[in-house]
Amino acid sequence: MGAFVSRWFRSQDGLTLHARDYAGAEGPAKLPVICLHGLTRNSRDFEAVAPWIAATGRRVIVPDVRGRGLSDRDPQPMRYVPLTYARDMTGLMEQAGIARAVFVGTSMGGLITMALALLKVRLIAGAVLNDVGPQVSPVGLARIAGYVGRQAAPVDTWAEAEAYARALNETAFPGRDDAFWAAFARRVFREDAAGRPVLDYDPQISAPIRAAGPRALTPNLWPFFGRLARHAPVLLVRGQTSDLLDPDIAGRMRRKAPKMAYVEVPGVGHAPMLDEPEAKAAILDFLGRVP
């Protein structure tokens, strides 16, 4: 895992939010990269990816989105929505003195990037959307809604945490060994004061999904995506067996944005870890074409 320092910033509504800050390697000055994780994840999701992006000479900032990791939990759960998260990113950039950045967004992180395009598209110099689009498959979203904020059985040991992570995600990552699932569990769980693993997010992040009901399954962010694709280069990464970004949605995105770069990661569902050879090569090529 590459070296980083912790940074803290304040949201517009008074929360203290955390981000990992990886220094870029020596070389010509380049725009920084901001990596945004998925719904139930945190900044550890990019612990394998951020170092090799930083090695290209770019500073990499990886926030814990509010309600996750070391960031404050929100006392008003209905604020757990992409537009709120996007406003948090504008605050982070302002407080860090960053005028523009390249965004890498996995799942919810991609939705945040599209929401930011609606708010302040000039902040986005380029965007990698990892297995997410302006429309999502009801199949994948129903699966996610079925477990977010809930834990089917108590987890008292790290072996049980690994089993839990495997049970939820093995379909997306078939054939992975025990070391993969041990690392995966350490990314999604943290230890509580008694040393027991607990999921590292506020269970109330599911409140807006529950409140929206069936409407949560059919978000329409096509205008957001269109604005993003018109103003910045975009790379779309799709897991070959993804149940969230299905081939029809990906195909429509490519027709709407014919200049968008595209890569499919074989044998992976939702969502690629981005350290797969195909994803890594595509991201490095994309970053090589962005200032």
**DSSP structural state of residue 64:** E
Nearest to 5 by CA among 62, 58, 52, 49: 62
pTM of the model: 0.96
Handedness of CA 136, 40, 21, 176 (dihedral sign): negative
Model pLDDT for residues 22-58, shown as the tens digit of each residue: 999 999 999 999 999 999 999 999 999 999 999 999 9
pLDDT by residue for the chain (291 residues), tens only, comes to 689 999 999 999 999 999 999 999 999 999 999 999 999 999 999 999 999 999 999 999 999 999 999 999 999 999 999 999 999 999 999 999 999 999 999 999 999 999 999 999 999 999 999 999 999 888 887 787 677 766 656 899 999 999 999 999 999 999 999 999 999 999 999 999 999 999 999 999 999 988 887 565 556 899 999 999 999 999 999 999 999 999 999 999 999 999 999 999 999 999 999 999 999 999 999 999 999
How far is CA 226 from each of CA 121, 157, 254, rounded to the nearest angstrom? 11, 46, 11
Provide the 8-state DSSP code for 47: T
Which residues, at least 6 apart from 278, have a Cβ–Cβ distance to it below 8 Å? 263, 264, 265, 266
Q: Cα(140)–Cα(157) distance, rounded to whole angstroms?
A: 29
**pLDDT, tens only, 81-122:** 999 999 999 999 999 999 999 999 999 999 999 999 999 999
Distance CA 39, CA 174 (A): 21
The closest of 132, 123, 128, 76 to 100, measured between CA atoms, is 123
**CA–CA distances in Å: residue 76 to residues 72, 119, 137:** 12, 22, 28
Q: CA-to-CA distance for 198 and 64, rounded, in angstroms?
A: 16
Query: Do 286 and 126 meet the contact criterion of CB atoms below 8 Å apart?
Result: yes
Measured between alpha carbons, how far is 112 from 114 in angstroms, rounded to an integer?
5
Contacts 24+ apart (CB under 8 A), 73-79: 73/202, 73/204, 74/15, 74/202, 74/204, 77/202, 77/204, 77/205, 77/207, 77/208, 78/207, 78/208, 78/211, 79/13
Would you call 54 helix, strand, or coil by DSSP?
helix
Q: Could you give the domains of the chain?
A: 5-149+203-288 (3.40.50.1820), 151-200 (no CATH)
